[in-house]
Chains A and B, each alone.
Chain A
Amino acid sequence: MAAASACGGAGCGPHCSSSSGSAAGAEEDAPAERMARLSIATGAATTCGKCDGGAPTVAASGGAGMCRECFRAHLFGKFKLAVTSNAMVRPTDAVLLALSGGPASRVALQFIHAMQSKAIQSWETSNSQALPAFGVGVAFVDESVVLARPEHETQTATEDIKSIVSSLSPGDKQVHVAPLEDVFSSGSEDKVARLKEVVGMIDDETGRDDFIRCLRMLSLQKIALENGYTKIMLGTCASGIACHVLSATVKGQGYSLPADVQYVDTRWEVPVVLPLHDCLAQELSLLCELDSLKMQQLLDRPCRGINSLVASFVSRLREENPSREHTILRTAQKLKPFSFNKFSANGYHDFLPSRLRPKFQNVDTNESTFSEILCLICGSPFSESELQNLENTKHKAQKKIDLYTAHCCQSCHFQILPSATDTYGQFFSLLPKFWTEKVDTASASSLRDQIEDYLLEDDDEN
């Protein structure tokens, strides 16, 4: 139990608690008095539990405290381990970091900057200069239209973000600020009005929240594609993933859930990586506080509906047992990931040291390449019943709207599509072209299929 409390406080990650033998998870019910909480130590405490020197700045009641350097190194270690052991960043990559201004993405920026500086340094000092240093850019999606935030606040916030990024050197980092409505690129119509109209058509509060999240991802993809980035890095942390595990379960997305909780997600055109996968939100905000990293909290977007209910549930669970989020995450990681949850492109792993390469290559045995059907809106892979439904619709659908509808997962169908079916046409026409085009091409091929069938019959008769 001592191990459990130390782990809960210091957040040694999932590996720690499994090594301490509390595999059943049930044993983690540490009594309240032993609960370890992260805090900044105030009184004169003992020495740092890791390096034995310096007074601990981070106190975990019940466990040993850590000094600031050790705490930072501990979190950076987790970040780096996630990056290297999943081959997230290659030397030739250009990484686009999605910065929201909150503690998690702020720490991600700090850490990826640290890795980049190291890479630049070793490139400069090496004789051969074989491995170039990867590039880093920062994206900020401005959602002020849907959040109805006054413009001057957004202005100051973006200025702040720019100043934060420009203070990091070496390594020139570009900042891309894109308003959310830019996802509607084509045409000259009023993008803001279109965004407002489509969001307004969604009746469900949770659905609206999730829809905006989907648009945000689309917006990041667009920034990355237009500016030649090869990876998108998100600051999603363990706490965020734990919330997502529960909210996805509650929304009936149990099948697609494992796709969202892995380190790597290549189902998008530009692959997405989550290097803070093992760090708790609490740890990250503590680090920001300790290192006085400048954040931009103005841009906080409170979640709504079920998402906010889940968030408050998880925070209650955390109060009861600080390692609960890790347990939830561990449960979700026992679910089978999808084929797109790893990098499988040919030669992708060539840059890796030969000692690490086999680990990835063994996995790549002729597993079928990317073949999942994804939801038009949220990108969730389809479960069997959803596929069944899609097949049935394909056979008898006359109208494109039916096809679009069948390409939405059941969860989006319920919470995002408008309740009145006769407004579907209007709704789908407002969606970003990027989404509907995919169905258009898919249905075009199925139309050909139908014609082919017909032609064959003709041939037979002849």
Chain B
Amino acid sequence: MGSSSADGARLPPSRAGSRLCVRCGERKAALKRPKTLEQICRECFYIVFEDEIHQTIVDNTLFKAGERVAIGASGGKDSTVLAYVISELNRRHNYGLDLFLLSVDEGITGYRDDSLETVKRNEIQYGLPLKIVSYKDLYGWTMDDIVKAIGLKNNCTFCGVFRRQALDRGAALLKADKIVTGHNADDIAETVLLNILRGDIARLSRCTFITTGEDGPIPRCKPFKYTYEKEIVIYPFWTTFPQNVIPGIYSPNAYRGFAREFIKDLERMRPRSILDIIKSGENFRISTTTRMPEQGTCERCGYISSQKLCKACVLLDGLNRGLPKLGIGRTKAGPGAERNTSRLQGKHGNFDF
């Protein structure tokens, strides 16, 4: 998907021909900027791309000097570009951040090899320390072990639940103050739509926050909140970035697919509609009397949870006690609900808590 969206936006410089960049008026325009459709030159593209992210960081005071910030690095395009841009801006504007890359290794033989390779390359290229936390470190179990214990059925439940917490647990383990993730404007617009489609008013109110979990131990923020996916794809085009970024894997959920396709169609028709969706999401008048599901924390690990124990702790408990089926299947919520929530998580796990 990454490559196909790039094809639409990338204009070969020759086609732009004699046109001058509308921003500097000096150099030849090299591309049509996906966000505004302005024809600009390569240099200006880098300037506006980085400046907008810097502005987002400053306007929302995402960081304080001296903070230790974990960059969630999956090896995909978003997190690769994020790592580069954040470290660059940190240097240029003296944020004074102690940055490091944080990757999660599920411990599935062969599965993460490629993406961890990419992340390791990033470590060398940007001079950022890389920390890989494995399920083994965090939970005491690798996915391979879990599969051995419970078989091929149901193991996705474990992986999904564990992955959602892995970044937080890993960041805590490494004493980070903040996590940044590579969620881009398209992702957020998609989440807004999905939350409307499933009537989830609580998530609808939260999903456009640039920083989430501020009352928790480690807040998460999204510096790419206003950055278009297409621009993230264009960004590494002229640089020495690793070109073999791993395309995201999408869950086959029907309406998530529809929503993504819909957003792509919209963008073609009116590029600013992605920003408009985010703006709508920010401005929704959500009544203060709306009943929100209570958010507590897990008694054991402190992670946000609506129950006494979070799902990961319940599953882990089962594994450690030799009852791996505990927490799977029929609980209070029923199997139907279980299946659906996992289907709805899609590409990013839940990126809206």
Show the binding face of A for B, using Cβ within 8 Å.
1, 24-29, 204, 206, 245-246, 248-255, 257-258, 305-306, 309, 313, 316-317, 320-321, 324, 327-328, 330-332, 334-336, 383, 411, 414
**Smallest distance from the beta carbon of B140 to chain A beta carbons, Å?**
31
B301 at the interface (CB under 8 A from A): no
- The 6 A-B residue pairs with the shortest CB-CB distance, nearest first, are A254-B280, A252-B276, A25-B199, A255-B283, A336-B287, A336-B285
Partner of B344, one of A26, A246, A383: A26
> Which chain A residues lie closer than 8 Å to B198 at the CB level?
24-26, 28, 327, 331
Which B256-283 residues have C-beta < 8 A from chain A? 258, 262, 265-266, 269-270, 272-273, 275-277, 279-283
Q: Are B199 and A331 in contact (CB-based, < 8 A)?
A: yes
> Which chain B residues lie closer than 8 Å to A321 at the CB level?
255
Chain B minimum-CB-distance residue to A334: B201
B110 at the interface (CB under 8 A from A): no
Partner of A254, one of B270, B284, B337: B284
Q: Are A250 and B283 in contact (CB-based, < 8 A)?
A: no
Partner of A328, one of B197, B269, B270, B290: B197
Q: Are B282 and A254 in contact (CB-based, < 8 A)?
A: yes
Q: Are A249 and B201 in contact (CB-based, < 8 A)?
A: no
Chain A minimum-CB-distance residue to B204: A331
A331→B284 CA distance, assembly (Å): 11
B24 at the interface (CB under 8 A from A): no
Q: Are B270 and A206 in contact (CB-based, < 8 A)?
A: yes
Segment at the A interface, from B42-50, B61-69, B188-196, B224-232: B188-196
B124 at the interface (CB under 8 A from A): no
**Smallest distance from the beta carbon of B15 to chain A beta carbons, Å?**
24
> Which chain B residues lie closer than 8 Å to A251 at the CB level?
273, 276, 280
Q: Are A26 and B200 in contact (CB-based, < 8 A)?
A: yes
Q: A250-B266, A254-B282, A334-B287 are in contact. Are A320 and B193 (CB under 8 A)?
A: no
Partner of A24, one of B258, B282, B284, B337: B337
Chain B minimum-CB-distance residue to A29: B340
Pairs across A and B, CB under 8 Å, 20 listed: A24-B200, A27-B337, A245-B196, A249-B277, A249-B280, A251-B273, A253-B280, A254-B279, A254-B284, A257-B280, A309-B269, A324-B255, A327-B197, A328-B197, A328-B199, A334-B201, A334-B287, A334-B290, A335-B284, A383-B283
Show the binding face of B for A, using Cβ within 8 Å.
192-193, 195-201, 204, 254-255, 258, 262, 265-266, 269-270, 272-273, 275-277, 279-287, 290, 336-337, 340-341, 343-344
Known: A252-B276, A306-B266, A336-B285. 4 other contacts (CB 8 A): A248-B280, A331-B200, A334-B199, A411-B276
A328→B193 CA distance, assembly (Å): 10
> Which chain B residues lie closer than 8 Å to A206 at the CB level?
269-270
Q: Are B285 and A252 in contact (CB-based, < 8 A)?
A: no
Q: Tell me whether chain A's interface is mostly helix, strand or loop, or mixed.
A: helix
> Which chain A residues lie closer than 8 Å to B266 at the CB level?
250, 306, 309
> Which chain A residues lie closer than 8 Å to B285 at the CB level?
255, 258, 335-336
Q: A27-B336, A309-B265 are in contact. Are A317 and B277 (CB under 8 A)?
A: no
Partner of B337, one of A26, A257, A324, A334: A26
> Which chain B residues lie closer than 8 Å to A253 at the CB level?
280
Q: A317-B255, A334-B290 are in contact. Are A27 and B340 (CB under 8 A)?
A: yes
Partner of B200, one of A25, A317, A320, A411: A25
Q: Are B192 and A249 in contact (CB-based, < 8 A)?
A: yes
> Which chain B residues lie closer than 8 Å to A257 at the CB level?
280, 284
Q: A253-B280, A306-B266, A320-B258 are in contact. Are A331 and B287 (CB under 8 A)?
A: no
Chain A minimum-CB-distance residue to B334: A27
A35→B334 CA distance, assembly (Å): 20
Most buried by A among B279, B285, B340: B285
A330→B197 CA distance, assembly (Å): 9
> Which chain B residues lie closer than 8 Å to A330 at the CB level?
199
A25→B283 CA distance, assembly (Å): 22
A317→B259 CA distance, assembly (Å): 9
A129→B313 CA distance, assembly (Å): 71
Q: Are A246 and B193 in contact (CB-based, < 8 A)?
A: yes
Chain B minimum-CB-distance residue to A30: B336
